Amino acid sequence: MSLLDWVPPAVVETADPNVIPAERRRLSRQNLEVLELLKRGPARTDELCRITHRFSARFYDLKQAGFVIECIDTDTVTGLRVFALKGGSNADG
């Protein structure tokens, strides 16, 4: 299956067992927003910060769900990094 054929899951739960139930919905929504952004193509840190300043935590959740996210570029002047989703989910088989 190619990335273009892949359909994202309806929910990507937070992987942190210590998150209080009231926060789970918000974090799951952020996970899906980050996933949708990456599905459209590479995303810079400033774009990810528009969704959440803790995008690395959302990356962790997505990686725990089987997604592969890689840093593909770093601007040494501005410090911006570019991240990309590699393929669909490894959990898809």
* pLDDT, tens digit (0-9, with 9 covering 90-100), for 56-71: 999 999 999 999 999 9
Residue 5 lies in a domain: no
What was the pLDDT predicted at 13?
83
Q: How many domains does the chain have?
A: 1
Contact 67, 35 (CB under 8 A): yes
Residue 55 lies in a domain: yes
Residue 3 lies in a domain: no
Residue 57 lies in a domain: yes
Query: Phi and psi at residue 28, in whole multiples of 5°?
Result: -65, -40
What was the pLDDT predicted at 92?
46
Alpha-carbon distance 78 to 81, whole Å? 9
Residue 71 lies in a domain: yes
Domain extent at residue 72: 21-87
SS3 44: strand
Residue 63 lies in a domain: yes
Residue 88 pLDDT level (bands cut at 50, 70, 90): low
Residue 93 lies in a domain: no
Residue 11 lies in a domain: no
pTM flag (> 0.85): no
